[in-house]
Chain A
Amino acid sequence: MTLVQISGNLLFFAFVCYLLATLLFGGAVKGAKSESSASEKRWGKLAIIVTILGFIANLGYFITRWIAAGHAPVSNLFEFTTAFGMMVVGAFILIYFIYKTPMLGLFALPIAIIIIAYASMFPRELNPLIPALKSYWLYVHVITAALGEAILAISAVAGLIYLLKHVDVTKRTKQRFWLEAVMFTLVLVLGFVASTTTFSLMDYEASFSYVDKEEKPSEITYNTPPLFGMNEYVALTPNTMEPLAEMPPLVNAKKLSTVTWAFLFGTILYGLIRLLARKSISALLQPLVKKANSSLMDEIGYRAVLIGFPVFTLGALIFAMIWAHEAWSRFWGWDPKEVWALITWLFYAAFLHLRLSRGWHGEKSAWLAVIGFIIIMFNLIAVNLIIAGLHSYA
């Protein structure tokens, strides 16, 4: 077995551990009559051991891949997102040892699982570093920034638990709608995983020539059936599906097709869940959080931001500026990825001020934590997908 294969296997093992630990945390939460009962402690202990085992395997993946590639595995979308998923687990373990609450694991681990599954939909081969990325600051900056974001993500997990407990899912309210919208978005990510896996199992490929926005002829290969065609497309692969519509030069129709497929698969998945459960996902999850301690969740939500904010500032802004100064000769260039890091930072600054000075506790604070996570994921996914700047990987 080569080092790369070992690395891949370790990641798979970690993934399975996280799935198992989620079930165990579920057992801890469900089996307990009240919080901190004996049965909860027993299951919780087992669950955290499995989580740590998975985390060690995950670190093993990271280290072996680092050795194999000769650089830290944070240099493309797959590697970075996987590292982020790993750090979410790490941040959860950290917070678990402060607050010992299995409820958090029941929600944090599935989020990490979804992130890692999402990551593995991108090309997984090792790639060499382009000159701009050849710097120790790459590792320092990316690892610290991802760690900061992961700790902030735990705040959103606590917020989500708080909201599931406190939003009344029996009445038609704005809160109920938005909470379900968050759940739907998570299902969409699964839809992306499902559609990408389906088409890659089918080995789907279709090539087109087209004219790009600089009016130059180009070629592109789709990995999903082309729902949308590129500007002035001509099919190069015989017998491919005829795109339903041609897009203007500005729109990357390949990405649009991928996203649309993810949306279709996700919506069907969501529909199936609702059909089988006969209730919304929020309502489905609500019984699980009945016993959650609201004050504690509120506290964790705030504490995670307090712990994560300095780490995020250091990694995503300060180290980023030092590196940008070395690599691009200026510490700040208003590149979209930079700007979105700044936006994230400003958002959490606003969160802290609202909480400290304007008394935004409880539900308001929980919503803010969830929105913060959405901004982080937007920077991770959408900025790479839509607004590509200097940082766009691969």
Chain B
Amino acid sequence: MNNIKCACGHENPEGTVLCGNCGRPLTAEAENQKMVDMRYEGSARRSQTYNKTVIDKIWNFFSSVRVGIWLIVIILVAAAIGTILPQVFYVPAVTETEIAAYYERVYGTFGKLYYQLGLSDLYGSWWFQTLIGMLGISLIVASLDRVIPLFKSLKKQRTRRHESFMKRQRLFGIGENHLKDETLVKSEEKLKELRYNVKRENGALLAEKGRFSRWGPYVNHAGLIIFLGAVMLRSLPGFYVDETMWIREGETRALPETEGYYLESKEFTLETYDKEQTDEVFGEAIERVGTIASNYQTDVVLYKNPKDALPGDTKNLEEVKKESIQVNHPLKFDGFSVYQMDFRLDELRTMNFNLINKKTEESLGDVSIDLVNPKDLYDLGEGTSVELLGYYPDFSGIEEGEPQTKSPLPNNPAFLIKMITPETPEGETSFVAIKQTVEPLGENEYKLAFKNVETRDVSGLTIRKDKTLWILGLGGLIFMIGVVQGAYFNHRRIWIHETANGEIAIAAHTNKNWFAIKKELDQVTEAALLPRYIDQQDIDSEVDKKEGESSS
């Protein structure tokens, strides 16, 4: 490494812009500037020093804030494009063809194009995830490139800075020393009152406060990196469970992905706001909108199978807890949460029939068919029975002589049955569906007459486990600490020294909030009769100057 030796004798590493000791500009460029660039204290940064190997080039690419901003802006624009049409997971379609058809049907040619370009699943696309990944890399590289040299140079600041450094500060003043030896004493007093840490060293003073705020951006970037890391972890198996299940009232079902947990649904309740009861306050709204739901709730019992139980053996379930799952109040156990997400009201549960003689209308007994677990044979005694030959829970018509079912859900149950009575010991075959009876093998003497149905509600639940939550939370917390640290506190420094010819020079720097440091500097100036300082970056005076120039 070629060190740069400053006029003050200090050895600076290659790439340094301002001498780490006295602050003299070390490059021709810095020397020509009216004001020095104080970010990172003019220290040597890797990205500004090396640009030979591929690694250098990659490092420099990701360390550039210009690149970082471009990444942010591109992600921003992409995110916005993704909101033009609903994303695929909000669309009521399942298969690829259905989805494609949906976009074209509802949104026309634009929708078709949107789907074909993959914009309908933009946030899950490889290129969007790559952009997020690049943002993460950029955050890491840019932070490391800056925080280390910054830390080093802030640690070993010298009290007296060279005049060329002082006069290139935004706030700078030089003039007569009114109080002679008292100047620095008085300044120190005032600065301490303003909670500065003050260092004095033969005729020079350095006052500093809020240095920790300089770490704010790096802390918040670290928080973001942790957050992004946690999001990536979720794609590894075991960290993240996302299952849905439908459970009917009275049913007990194994909770998917859990170890031996079972859930029983006691009851599903849907409540709405009662107009009478809430008339005074909400009557008007209910009048306008119609019924408004107030609660979706599933009362459940959570069970656990003992350790030694065989899978599927549910005889010895032990009750863990009873709870009511509501929207916003998930059931929580063992790292899992179960959410109330959906419901279906009044699913058919049992159908009750009467076996009657068609002519005499005499009843031979009741048949009650459980639509989820139907029996094969219903024995009514005295030689009478009904045999279930076929069950079609969601009957959709007959194709090639075979009854068809659309789904396993009992939405439209139909049965192929054989009725055996003492009079008809061979049995009569009949096809029974809602509101229709077909007798495929000729006229029957008996029929299964529909009596009534019993229904029950079904709850749609989501079972979720997310082992990364605490990491996400930690990332969020660190991010917040970092932004608050960087945004609500400022790093302020004031330099005052006696010059060689007996004058007093003052300079001040803050990373932000110049308004506040000026007010403090005013107070110090007043207390120690310091020379007036000027703001070398006052926009109005620049504008005035420009206006003055053009008019003359």
Contacts and interface: CB of A to CB of B under 8 A. Distances in A.
Contacts of B515: 99, 296, 299, 303
Interface in B444-489: 462, 464, 469, 472, 476, 479-480, 483-484, 487-488
Interface string A324-347: 011111110011100110110011
B76 A343 contact: yes
Interface stretch (B62-70, B309-317, B356-364): B62-70
A367 B242 CA distance: 44
Contact of B87 (A330, A334, A353, A358): A334
B513 A350 contact: no
B424 interface: no
A318 interface: yes
Interface string B273-288: 1000010111011101
B540 A350 contact: no
Contacts of A330: 242, 464
Contact of A295 (B87, B330, B464, B540): B540
B543 interface: yes
A257 B242 CA distance: 43
Contact of B79 (A127, A313, A343): A343
Nearest to B483: A310
A293 B544 CA distance: 12
Nearest to B122: A334
Interface string B11-45: 00000000000000000000000000001000000
Given A295-B538, A329-B330, A131 B295 contact: yes
Interface residues of A, number: 68
A307 B540 contact: no
A135 B75 CA distance: 32
Nearest to B135: A346
A310 B514 contact: no
A357 interface: yes
B462 A329 contact: yes
B230 to A, nearest CB: 11
Contact of A310 (B73, B278, B487): B487
A334 B82 contact: yes
Interface in B256-309: 273, 278, 280-282, 284-286, 288-289, 292-296
A123 interface: yes
Given A310-B488, A313-B480, A327-B328, A362 B539 contact: yes
Interface string A293-304: 111101100110
Interface residues of B, number: 66
Secondary structure type dominating chain B contacts: helix
Contacts of A125: 282, 284-285, 288
Contacts of B83: 336, 339-340, 383, 387
A274 interface: no
Contacts of A328: 339, 341
Contact of B106 (A250, A329, A336): A250
A353 B483 contact: no
B441 interface: no
A279 interface: no
B292 A128 contact: yes
Contacts of A335: 90
Nearest to A132: B327
Contacts of A2: 280
Nearest to A354: B69
B326 interface: yes
Nearest to A308: B487
B330 A127 contact: no
Contacts of A99: 515
A250 B472 contact: no
Contacts of A354: 69
Given A295-B540, A353-B65, A127 B73 contact: no
A244 interface: no
A130 B341 contact: no
Interface in A114-130: 123, 125-130
Contacts of B384: none
A16 interface: no
A302 B510 CA distance: 14
B96 to A, nearest CB: 19
Contacts of B476: 318, 321
A256 interface: no
Interface in A355-394: 356-358, 361-362, 383, 387, 389, 394
A354 B67 CA distance: 11
B480 A329 contact: no
Nearest to A295: B539
Given A354-B69, A358-B66, A128 B273 contact: yes
A247 interface: no
Interface of A: 2, 4, 68-70, 99, 123, 125-132, 134-135, 137, 166, 213, 248-250, 293-296, 298-299, 302-303, 306-307, 309-310, 313-314, 318, 321, 325-331, 334-336, 339-340, 342-343, 346-347, 349-350, 353-354, 356-358, 361-362, 383, 387, 389, 394
10 contacts: A4-B281, A69-B281, A128-B282, A134-B327, A310-B488, A342-B79, A343-B76, A346-B76, A349-B72, A358-B66
- Ranked nearest first, the 10 interchain pairs of A and B with the lowest CB-CB distance are A127-B285, A125-B284, A131-B327, A357-B65, A329-B339, A306-B487, A294-B539, A135-B328, A336-B83, A346-B76
Given A299-B513, A326-B329, 8 more contacts: A131-B293, A166-B543, A250-B108, A303-B512, A330-B464, A350-B69, A357-B39, A383-B83
